[in-house]
Structure 1
Amino acid sequence: MARQRILAVLFFVSLFVIFFLPHADNDFGWHYRCGEKILQGRSICTGGDFLYFLSDYKWANPTFLYDAFIAAIFDHLGFLGISLFGALLFTLIMVPIYRSSRAGILITISLMYVAILLSSSVLYLGFRSQTLSLLFGVLTYSLLANRGSVRLKKIFWLIPLGIVWANSHGSFFLGPLMMAAYTIDQWLNYFRRRLSLRTALAVSAIFLTMLFATSLNPFGWRIYEEVYRHWHTPLNTLIAEWVPPSFWQEMMIIASAGVFAVYAAFKNRATFFELIILAMTVFFALHARRNLPFFYFYYLYLVLKNFHWDAPKRYLATVEYLSIAFLMLTLASYAPGKIKNTVSFSVDFSHYCADGYVKYPCRAAEFLEKFFSDRQTTLNIFNTYEWGGFLVWRLPTHRIFVDGRTPAWRGENGQSPYAYWLEILQTKKDWDKKLDFYRTDCLFIGAGTFLDVLLQERGDRFGYREIYRDRMAAVWMKY
C-alpha cells in the first residue's frame, strides 16, 4: 500500500538522521594512525606503536580493515564523511530486522524505535569498530535463521564473512560461536530424523572451514588468545562502557528473555539455535553495557519474527496517516538541528575539542607542537589516558604513555597498564622513579589532578617545570 511505503521511507530517513552522529570516538587517533600506515604500504600496528611505555608489547588486535577504512574516509571526507558512513551503516543494520518482521508496519517501527532507545547509551557514541561487529552479527544470524530447511548456499557465505570479521574487530569470535550453536541444532535435528546425515555433515564442514577462515589474519590463531585475555581482565573496573548495565536494565533483560523462553517452550515457537543465541546475548549484555545493542536488536528480531501483531483494521488507515504526519513533523523540527550540530562538530575543530563526550586539550597540544617544532627531537609524554588517542593523532612526532588500546594488556607482574598509569597520576609510592625509569620527558596531564597539584607545590624537588597551563591541561617538562 502506498501509505505503508511512505511510512517505511520516512522511518528509514529518520533512522539515518538519528544515527548521523559526531565521530567523537577518543580512540580515533590511534585507529587513524594505524590505518595511515596500512594505506602508505608500511607495517600494520602490532602493539606498542606510538607508545614509549610497553613499546615492544605485542597485541593481536585485528582491526586492520576498520583502521584502513577510517583513514581512507578521513583523508578524503574528514569527520563528516565518517559520520555519513556511520549513519548509513547503522541504517543498513536495521534493514534485515525490519524485513524479518511478521508484525504490521506500525508495530514494527514502534518496537524498533524502542530497541534503539534502550541501546542509546552505546549507540550515541557513533560509528566505531564495534559497529562492524554489530553489522556482521546481524548478517550472520540472517544467513542462519531459516526454519524448516538448511540453505547451504547461504550458509557458505559465512566463510568469507568470517575472514572479513576476523580482520575488523575483536568480537569476531561471535561468528564461530553462533555457527557452533547452529551446527549443534542441526545435529539435534538429525537425531530427531528431521535432517539427513549428509546435510548435517555439510553444515559441520562449513563450520570448521569458517573457524579456520578466522585464522587468515596477520596474527593467525593468536587473536583467540587475545579474546581470552580480554575476558579475563577486569575491564569493568577500568573502563566505563565495560561496567554492567543499570539494575533496571538488568531486570528488563532477564524478564523479557524469560518471558520469551517460557512462551517459546509452550508454543514451540523457537528453535534450540534461537534460544541459545538468546542466552548468549543475555550473558553478554549483563556482562557489559557496551553489549546492550546485541541483546535488544536480537530480541527485537525474535519478537517481530514470531508474533503477528497489527493495529485494528478498522482504524489502521487512520493510524497510518497520523503516523506519517507525525514522522514528517518530527523530521521537519528535529532533523535540521541534528544535522547542523553534527556538521558543525565535523568541520569546526573548536567544536570537536569542546563538544565531544571527551573534552580535548587542543590548545595545549597546539602549544606543545609549536614549542618543539624547531627541534629535531621525539618526546616521551606521560599523558592523561582519555587523551591518548587524540595526542597520537595531533602529536605524531612524539610518543605517549597510554591510550585506549592498553587496559587489557599485561604489564609488569601482570598489572594492567591502566592501573600502572593511575598509580603514577595519583602520586603513589615511587611514581617519580617509574617516570624516570621510562625516560619521561614531559607530562601532559589534566589541570588539578593529584600529580599536577603536587608539582605545583614541589615541582623543583622532582625536577619538573611548568611550561603551559589552561583550565583543562597542564604541561610539565623534565629538566
Structure 2
Amino acid sequence: MVIAVFVILFAIFPLTDTDIWWHLACAREWVTTWTPVRTPVVNVHEYFQLAVGFVYGLGGAPLLVAFKAILWGVVFALFLLPENPKCHCEVRRTAAISSCMWRSLVAVVLLFVFRYHFEMRPVLFSLLFLGIYWNVLPRLFANSRLTPVNTLFAVLILAIQWTWCKTQGLYILGPLFAVLVLTAGIWNSRKSGDKFSRKALALRGAFVVALFAMPFLHREGLALFLYPFGLLDRLLGLSPSAAIFASEIAENRSPFTLLMAGENTLECVLMILLCLAGMGLAIWRLYKNRRPGVLNVSLLATAILVLIAERNFVLFLPVLLATLPNFPFRTPHFTSCRLLSTVYFLLPTFFIFGLWVRSLSAYDISMVAYQRVPVDATDWMQKHPHKGKLFNDDRAGGYLALMNPTDSIYIDGRFILKTADFFERYLNYAKDPALFMHDADSLGIDRALFPLQYYARWDTLLRALQQDSRWHLAYRDEYFAVFDKMIK
C-alpha cells in the first residue's frame, strides 16, 4: 500500500507524452491526415480513447492526470499484492518487517528516478489488465475443480481480454502470460506427482485458446489478430520496411543505443544495470529451483524486452519490484531492529518526498506540457487560417488535431499507419531542405510548424526557410515557430 501511494504521488505531472492528444482527438472523431496511410487501418486503441476522452471531457487535463496517477497506483498494488510473507515467530516477524522496509526504500528510490515513465498511455491499461491476470490466473489454474467462483473468474478474464484487444496492441501479453502460468503449473504438478486430469488440462487449454481467439470477436478480426506481430516487427526492425521505425523512433531503440548516442545517460545506465541484475536474479532462481517459476520467467522476459527497446521499461519495473529479494539486515543486540530499520527507511523517504514536492513548483496548473505541444501556436493558427496544406512535426500532430480540427495535419504519432518510404522521406526533410521545398511546392504546403527546443531536429530546415524569400516567419514563441509561404 505504501508503494502504491508513492506511485500515485510521483505520477502527478503534466501530460508530457504527446500521443495522448491524438488519442483524445480520436475519442471525438477518427483523425485523418491529408497524407496517405497504410491499410487496413485498425484502431487498436479505441476503448482506451473512449475512456480517456470521457475523463478529459469531465475535467480536462487535471482530472486526466489524477485518473492516470490513480491507475498507476492500482497497477503497482496489483503486482505487489501476491507478496505477503507470513512469519510465525517474533524474531522472524521482526526480520520480515526490516526486510520489507529496505525493499520499500529501494522501490521508492527507483520509482522517483523513473517517475516520468508513468505517463498517460495505452500501456497503462495493458499493465492494469496484466496485473489482474497476475493475481487471478495462478489461482484459477491451480484449482482443479470447476466451481461457480472459478467460472466467474474465467468469464471475467475473457471479458477483460476482449476489451484489451481494442485497448492496446500488447493484448497478446495476456494469452502469453496464461501460457506461462499453465506451463509452470503442468511442470510443477509433474514434479510433485499431483498431475492434472485430462479433463482439467483440456479445460485449461481451451481457456488459453479462447484468449488467443478474442480478436476474432471484433469486426477487425484477422487484422486485429495480426496487429501485435506488425508491432513487434516495427519494434525490432525484422523486415527491411520496418528497420527505419526501429532505428529512428527514440522509444523503440535499445538503452544501449541511447547510451552510445549520449541520450538520457544516467537513466539508461541505471536501466541497463537493473535489467542485467534482474536477468541474473531470474536465471539464478530458475537454476536453483529447477522449475519455470512464473515470477522469474516474467522478470527475465521483461528485462530482455527492455534491452530491446527502452519503451518496455514500464513492463519491467512492476515485475522487478514484485520479485526484489529480501535484503539481510543486521543490527547490534542492544539496538531495536524494528526501530533502526524504520529510521533508515523514513529519513531517505522524507528526503525523496521533499524533492518531489519541490518538483511540483515547475508544473503548470493546466497540467499541459506546453513545452512539448504548441499551445500558443495553435491558438494563433486558429485565428489566422490559411488556404493550403499544413506541414507539422509528428509530436505536434495530435494536439493540432484536437485543438484545431479544421486544419488537416501532415503526420501524427501513429507511425504504424505510415509506410517506411513516407517516414524516411519525412525524416530527410530535416537533413535536405531542398527536398522539403520541392515537396511543399508539389503538395501545396503553405504553412509549416516546427518545435524549437524539444525534439528539435529541424535546425537545418529552419535556417533554410529563414533564408528563402518565398517563406516568412509568421509566428514564434519560446518553443514553436510557424512559417507561412508567400502568396503570389
Query: Any idea what SS the aligned residue of 2:336 has?
Result: helix
Query: Any idea what SS the aligned residue of 2:450 has?
Result: strand
Q: Distance in 2 between matches of 1:142 and 1:476?
A: 56
Cα contact 1:189–1:195 (8 A) shared by 2: no
Partner of 1:220: 221
- Of residues 390, 394, 402, the one that matches 1:385 is 394
- Of residues 124, 128, 133, the one that matches 1:131 is 124
- Of residues 33, 41, 53, the one that matches 1:51 is 33
Change (3 A) 1:135 1:114: farther
Q: Could you give the per-residue CA deviations for residues 206-254 of structure 1, whole angstroms, max 9, x where no partner exists?
A: 1111111233334223123332222222434222222212355334423
Deviates more, 1:61-70 or 1:224-233: 224-233
Partner of 1:172: 171
Alignment of 1:403 with 2:412, yes or no, is: yes
Query: Any idea what SS the aligned residue of 2:16 has?
Result: coil
Change (3 A) 1:224 1:186: same
- CA shift at 1:398, angstroms? 0.4
Cα contact 1:61–1:170 (8 A) shared by 2: no
Query: Any idea what SS the aligned residue of 1:219 has?
Result: coil
Q: Calculate percent identity across the aligned residue pairs.
A: 16
TM-score (norm 2): 0.79
Deviates more, 1:117-126 or 1:193-202: 117-126
Q: Which segments of 5 or more consecutive residues in structure 2 lack a partner in the other structure?
A: 86-95, 235-242, 256-267, 453-457
Change (3 A) 1:402 1:470: same
RMSD: 3.3
- 1:43-442 matches, within 5 Å, as 45=30, 49-54=31-36, 57-102=39-84, 104-108=96-100, 110-112=102-104, 114-115=106-107, 117-118=109-110, 120-121=113-114, 123-146=116-139, 149-150=142-143, 153=150, 154-188=153-187, 193=193, 194-233=195-234, 234=243, 235-245=245-255, 246=268, 249-268=271-290, 271-303=292-324, 315-319=336-340, 321-322=342-343, 326=347, 329=350, 333=354, 336-337=357-358, 341-342=362-363, 344-346=365-367, 352-354=369-371, 358=372, 360-372=373-385, 379-406=388-415, 408-411=416-419, 414-415=420-421, 417-427=422-432, 430-442=435-447
Change (3 A) 1:112 1:212: farther
Q: Distance in 2 between matches of 1:474 and 1:326?
A: 49
Q: Could you give the per-residue CA deviations for residues 253-305 of structure 1, whole angstroms, max 9, x where no partner exists?
A: 2343223322342245x53544443332122111111212322322332346x
Cα contact 1:446–1:452 (8 A) shared by 2: no
Amino acid of the structure 1 residue aligned with 2:461: L
- Of residues 10, 20, 39, the one that matches 2:12 is 20
Query: Any idea what SS the aligned residue of 1:52 has?
Result: coil
Query: Any idea what SS the aligned residue of 1:400 has?
Result: coil
Amino acid of the structure 2 residue aligned with 1:444: L
Change (3 A) 1:216 1:109: farther
TM-score (norm 1): 0.80
Q: Distance in 2 between matches of 1:187 and 1:275?
A: 16
Q: What is the count of residue pairs matched by the alignment?
A: 439
Amino acid of the structure 1 residue aligned with 2:60: G
- CA shift at 1:77, angstroms? 0.8
Q: Distance in 1 between matches of 2:486 and 2:221?
A: 42
Change (3 A) 1:97 1:277: closer
Query: Any idea what SS the aligned residue of 2:287 has?
Result: helix
Cα contact 1:53–1:401 (8 A) shared by 2: yes
Q: Distance in 2 between matches of 1:325 and 1:388?
A: 44
